[in-house]
A and B are shown apart, each in its own frame.
Chain A
Amino acid sequence: MEEKTAVQSEFSYLDSFLKELHAQNPAVLLGLVVAVIVVLFTIVFFQVFWSRKSTRNAILLIGLCDAGKTLLFSRLLSGKFKRTQTSITDSSAIYKAKNDRARSWTLIDLPGHESLRPQFIEKFKSMARAIVFVVDSAIFQKEVRDVAELLYSLLTDSVVVKNAPTLLVACNKQDITMAKSSKLIRQQLEKELNTLRVTRSAALSSQDGSSGGTSVPLGKKAKDFEFSQLPMHVEFVECSALGGGAEEAESDMEALEMCLARVA
C-alpha cells in the first residue's frame, strides 16, 4: 500500500514535490526510488508471465475447405457426430488431452475457405502449440497442389518456424475406399513442396517490395525436401472423423488422440 501511495503522490505532484524531496533526507529519496523500481519490476514480470501463459496453448485445426475440420473438432471434444457447414468464423473450446497428466488445451477450428484462411491463420499462429493439418485423403490427388501450397505457406512462416509447434498431418476420411494412405500422402507432399520451393522463390515480389514478408526458406537448400529437415516434430496420422459411413458409427481417431496426448 505504501508503495502505491508513494507512486501516486510522485505522479500527481511531480513538479512541486521534486524540489522538496531533494531537500529531504537522502534515505527517504532512496526508499522512494527503490519502491518505484519494485513496482515496475512486478508489473513487467506479471505481464511476461501472463503472456507466456496465455499464448502457445492452442491446438489449431487447419486445412482446406471440406477436409473435415469442424467434424474433427466436434469428435475430439464430444465424440458426437454433428452435421457441419462451411465455417465463417473460428470456433474454440477447451480440450483435455487423453493422458495421465490431462493437460488442457484450447482447440481452435479455423475456417478453411480461401478468403478467410489467411486472416485466421495470421490471428492464431502465434498461439499454436500444435497444428493439426487436416487433409482430405479421398480427393488428395486432385487437391495436392492446393494442400501443398497451404502447407508451404505455413512452414515458411517465420512465426511458425520460430515457435516450431508439433505438426500432425491428419489424413482424414480413411473410411472412403479410394482414400490415399498416409505414407503416400507424405511422399507426394514432399515432392510437391520440393517443386513449390522452386516456383515460389521465383514468384513476383509484391507491390511494397517485400516478397511474402516474413518468410523463411523451407528445408535444406541443396537436398530434396523431406519433412525430417523441419525444425518441428512432424507426424502423419490416419484417421476418419466420420467413421464407418453411417452417422452413428464410431469414429476412428485413436491414433490422432494418442498423438495429441503426446504433445508436450
Chain B
Amino acid sequence: MLDFFAIFSKGGIVLWCFQGVGVTESFTGPVNALIRSVILQERSGNNSYTHNALTLKYKLDNEFELVFVVGYQKILMLTYVDKFIDDIQLHFRDRYKNVLEQRGDLKLLLNNFDFKDDFTRLLHKAEESSKSRGPVSMKPFAESQKSQKTVKSMIETKGGDKGKEPSGKGKKGGKKEAPAPEPVGVDAQKGGAAAATVKAAENGSQNLTQEEIVAMNREKFFGKKLRANKEKTSKSPKPQKPKGKQKRTWDNGGSSTKELDYSNSNGNSSHDASGPSGDAPADVMGVHQLDPMKGDLRPVDVSSEEDDDDDDEEEDVTAVADKNTKKGGIGGMFGMLKGLVGSKNLTRKDMEPVLEKMRDHLIAKNVAADIASQLCDSVAKKLEGKVMSTFTTVATTVKQALQDSLVQILQPKRRVDVLRDVLEARAQHRPFVITFCGVNGVGKSTNLAKISFWLIENGFTVLIAACDTFRAGAVEQLRTHQRRLNSLHPPDENSGRSMVQLYEKGYGKDAAGIAMEAIAYARNQGFDVVLVDTAGRMQDNAPLMTALAKLITVNLPDLVLFVGEALVGNEAVDQLVKFNQALADHSTSNKPHLIDGIVLTKFDTIDDKVGAAISMTYITGQPIVFVGTGQTYNDLRSLNAKAVVSTLMKA
C-alpha cells in the first residue's frame, strides 16, 4: 500500500528507508520536493503534500532532529497513515534512544539502523486495524449531534424563517436577533444584511486565498442549512423568500450598499439605533462563515462566545479580562524562574501564549493575517519537542525561531542579479525583456523609470514599451521620463546614441501586439533591455487579467515583475494569488510563466510596518528584486533581509 517510508536526519542523511513492493522509482525526488517547497518555505502548518501522483506525509522530530516521511499513491485514501507515522516515530525513538542521544553526527553514519522488523510489524498492525474497522456502523440517535441540541435548534427554527434566504449570512444574523423585542422577520433580516455586508467586505480579502477553508466552511454551512430547513419545513412562510433575494444583491454590492441599508432601517422601525451598533459585533462573531477570520484573530474569545448563544457585550469584556489575567499569572516570577532553570522539551501548550503574542505583533506590523498565523503554526511545528537549553525562556526561543524563519523567507530562493542576466542576453544578441504588472496606482511607471535610470547608469541601452494603452496620460508620463533620462545622459556622451527610447503606438491598441513590435524593434536596433509597462488592473478584472496573461505568453519576457506597494496589508495575498492564478490559467503552455520577482514600492512611507515584504515573498516564494524608497531616480534599493526582519521584530 505504501510506496515508501523514509527516516532521515535534518542534516540530510537517510537512516533507514523502506520501498514498497513494485515501486521502482526512487523516493529521493519527491522527498526533496517536499523539503524544498514545504519545510524550507515555512509552510509546515499542514503535514501533507502532493507531488505528482504521490501524497507525502511527514513528521518532524525536533528533539533528535529527525524527519519521518511516508509516501503513497494519491488515489489511495489511507486513513491510518497519521497514526502510523506517530507509532513509527515512537518505536524508532525508543529503539535507538541510546544512539541518538550521542553528540555529533558521526553516530548517524556509523550505526546501522535496521528497523525493518519493527516496521513490517507496525505496518501490518496498522493495515489490519484499518481493515478490521471496516464500514463504520451507523450512529444511534442518542449520539448524534441532532439529539444534543434541543433548545438551540428550537431557537434556530424560530428565527429560521430567514434561514430560507439564499444568503447564509443573513440567516445566521437572523438567528442572533431572535430574542430581540420584535421577533418580526423584516427587522432581523435587515440587521443580518448589515452584518453580512460588513462581513463580506472583511472576508473579501481572505476568501480566495484560503479557498480550501472557505470551501469547507461553505460545505459545513450548507449542511447546516439543509438540516435547519428540514427541521422547520412546516414553519417557514413563503413570502420571506423574495426579500431574501433582494438582500443577496446587496451582499455582493460591497460597502456602498451599507449606507443604503442604514437608511432603510431608519425609515422602517424603532429598532434602528440599537440595530446596527448592537448587532454588528455579535454577528461578526456568530456567523459561521467567518471561521477563517475568527481563527486568525482571537480564537479564544470567539469560542467562549459560541458556547452561550445569548450574546452580551459586557460578558465578552469580562471573559477577555479573565483570559488576560490568567496569562499574566503564567508569565509571573515563578514561571520565569521555572522557565530559566532546567532544560525541558517545548510543548505546544507552552508556546501557545507566546505564539499568540507574536502573531498579533506580526499583524500589527502589517503582515497579512493568515500568513502571520501560518508562520506561527510553522514555527510551532519546528519547535515542538525541541529541548530548550538552560537559561533560555520559551519566549526567547520562539522569538529566535521566528526570526530565523523570517530571514529564511526573505532570502531569495534563486540568484537575483539582473545585470548579469542582461549581460548574458547581450552576449546572445537579444534584448532582455522585463514586464511590469500590478494593480492601479502602485507605481509601475515610476519604478520602471527608476530601473531604466539604473540600467542606463550601468551602460545599457533601454527601450521602454508603452503598453499601458488605457489610462489617459500613461504614454505622456513615460515620454516625460524618457526625455528627462536622456537629458541626464545626453546622447553626445554615448557616441551619439540616445540611451533610452520610447516605443509607443498611442492608446486603445492591443498591448501584447505593441510589446511584440517593441521587442522586434529592440532586437533590430540593438537595445540591451526592453522594459514593458502594462496598464494597472484589479486582480478581479477577468478580461484584463486574460489580456495580461496573453501579453506574457506571447512575448515570453525574461522577467515578470509584480509591482506592489509596501502599504498593502491583507490585500497583498489576494493580489499576488490572483495574478499568479491568472497567469497560470490563461497560459497555453503547460509550464506557464508566473511572477518571477517583486518590486516593493513606497517603502519610505511605511516606517516600521514592513510586513508586506513578508506577505509577498511568502505567497510567491519569489525574491524582492527592487525596493522603491523615494521620489528621485536614485531611490531604488535592493532588499536587506536582516534589516527588514529586525525592524519587523522590534517591539
**Could you tell me if B409 and A207 are in contact, using CB atoms closer than 8 angstroms?**
no
Taken together as a complex, chains A and B put the C-alpha atoms of A80 and B76 apart, in Å, by 36
Within 8 A of A (CB), among B456-497: 457-458
Q: Is the CB of B638 within 8 A of A199?
A: no
Once A85-B28, A199-B423 are accepted as A-B contacts, the answer to whether A204 and B454 lie under 8 Å apart by CB is: yes
With A74-B109, A78-B110, A109-B11 known to touch, is A202 a contact of B31 (CB < 8 Å)? Answer: no
B-contacting residues, A74-111, CB 8 Å = 74, 77-78, 80, 82-94, 109, 111
Contact of A70 among B11, B65, B409 (CB under 8 A): B11
Report if A91-B105 is in contact (Cβ < 8 Å); known contacts: A109-B11, A145-B415, A204-B454: yes
Interface residues of B in 370-412 (CB under 8 A from A): 404, 407-409, 411-412
B577 an interface residue at 8 Å Cβ cutoff? no
Contact (Cβ within 8 A) B9 A86: no
Contact between B17 and A83 (Cβ–Cβ < 8 Å)? yes
Would you call A116 an interface residue if the criterion is a C-beta within 8 Å of the partner chain's C-beta atoms? yes
Residues in B whose Cβ lies below 8 Å from that of A74:
13, 109
Q: How far is the CA of A74 from the CA of B6 in the complex (A)?
A: 18
Least CB distance, A176 to chain B, in whole angstroms: 17
Contact of B109 among A86, A88, A93, A145 (CB under 8 A): A93
Does A92 lie within 8 Å of B13, measured CB to CB?
A: no
Give chain B nearest CB distance to A200 CB in angstroms: 8
**Per-residue CB proximity of A115-142 to B under 8 Å, as 1/0?**
1101100000000000000000000000
* A134 CB → nearest B CB, Å: 13
* Interface of chain B residues 1 through 29 with chain A (CB within 8 A): 6, 8-14, 17, 28
Asked if B67 is at the interface of the complex by the 8 Å CB criterion, the answer is yes
- Docked-complex contact A196 and B636, CB < 8 angstroms: no
Q: Within the complex, what minimum Cβ distance (angstroms) separates A21 from chain B?
A: 35
B103-127: which have CB < 8 Å to A?
104-106, 108-110
CB distance from A116 to the nearest CB of B (A): 7
**B-contacting residues, A181-215, CB 8 Å:** 195-196, 199-200, 202-208, 210
In the bound complex, how far is the Cα of B40 from the Cα of A65, in angstroms?
A: 13
Residues in B neighbouring A93, C-beta threshold 8 A? 104-106, 109
Q: Does A113 count as interface, using CB distance less than 8 angstroms?
A: yes
Contact residues of B between 601 and 648, Cβ < 8 Å to A:
603, 626-627, 629, 636-640, 643-644
A228-241, CB under 8 A of B: which get 1 and which 0? 00000000000000
- Which of chain B's residues has its CB closest to A208's CB? B643
Q: Are B67 and A119 in contact (CB under 8 A)?
A: no
- Contact present for B14 and A84 (CB under 8 Å): yes
Task: Specify which of B404, B419, B644 is in contact with A203 (CB 8 Å cutoff).
Answer: B419
A15 within 8 A of B: no
A205 touches B420 (CB 8 A): no
- Chain A residue numbers with a CB within 8 Å of B31 are 85-86
A74, B420: Cα distance in complex, Å: 36
From B65, which residue of chain A is reached at the shortest CB distance?
Answer: A89
Nearest B residue to A78 via CB reads B109
- Whether, in the assembled complex, A248 has its beta carbon less than 8 Å from a beta carbon of chain B, the answer is no
Q: Does B509 contact A (CB under 8 A)?
A: no
Any A CB within 8 A of the CB of B414? yes
Query: Is A86 a contact of B32 with CB atoms below 8 Å?
Result: yes
Q: How many angstroms from the CA of A65 to the CA of B9 in the assembled complex?
A: 17
CB distance from A207 to the nearest CB of B (A): 5
Interface string of A52-64 (1 = CB under 8 A from B): 0000000000000
With contact pairs A93-B105, A118-B411 given, residues A207 and B11 touching in the complex (Cβ less than 8 Å): no
When distances are taken between beta carbons in the complex, the residues of chain B under 8 Å from A208 are 640, 643
| Chain B residues whose C-beta falls within 8 Å of the C-beta of A65 in the assembled complex | 36
Whether the Cβ atoms of B420 and A206 lie closer than 8 Å is no
Closest residue of chain B to A112 (Cβ to Cβ) is B12
A89 to B10: give the CA distance in the assembly, Å: 6
Contact of B12 among A111, A119, A203 (CB under 8 A): A111
Taking CB atoms, residues of chain B closer than 8 Å to A109 are 11-12, 105
Write 22 A-B pairs (CB below 8 A) sorted by A numbering. A78-B109, A85-B35, A88-B11, A89-B10, A91-B13, A92-B104, A93-B104, A94-B106, A114-B411, A115-B40, A115-B408, A115-B413, A116-B411, A119-B411, A195-B423, A199-B419, A202-B419, A202-B458, A206-B637, A206-B639, A207-B638, A210-B640
Known: A78-B110, A94-B106; 5 extra A-B contacts, CB below 8 A, are: A84-B14, A85-B31, A88-B40, A89-B11, A203-B417
State the B residues within 8 Å of A (CB): 6, 8-14, 17, 28, 31-32, 35-36, 39-41, 65, 67, 104-106, 108-110, 404, 407-409, 411-415, 417, 419-420, 423-424, 454, 457-458, 603, 626-627, 629, 636-640, 643-644
10 shortest interchain CB distances as A-B pairs: A91-B11, A87-B12, A206-B640, A83-B14, A91-B105, A199-B419, A93-B106, A78-B109, A88-B10, A70-B12
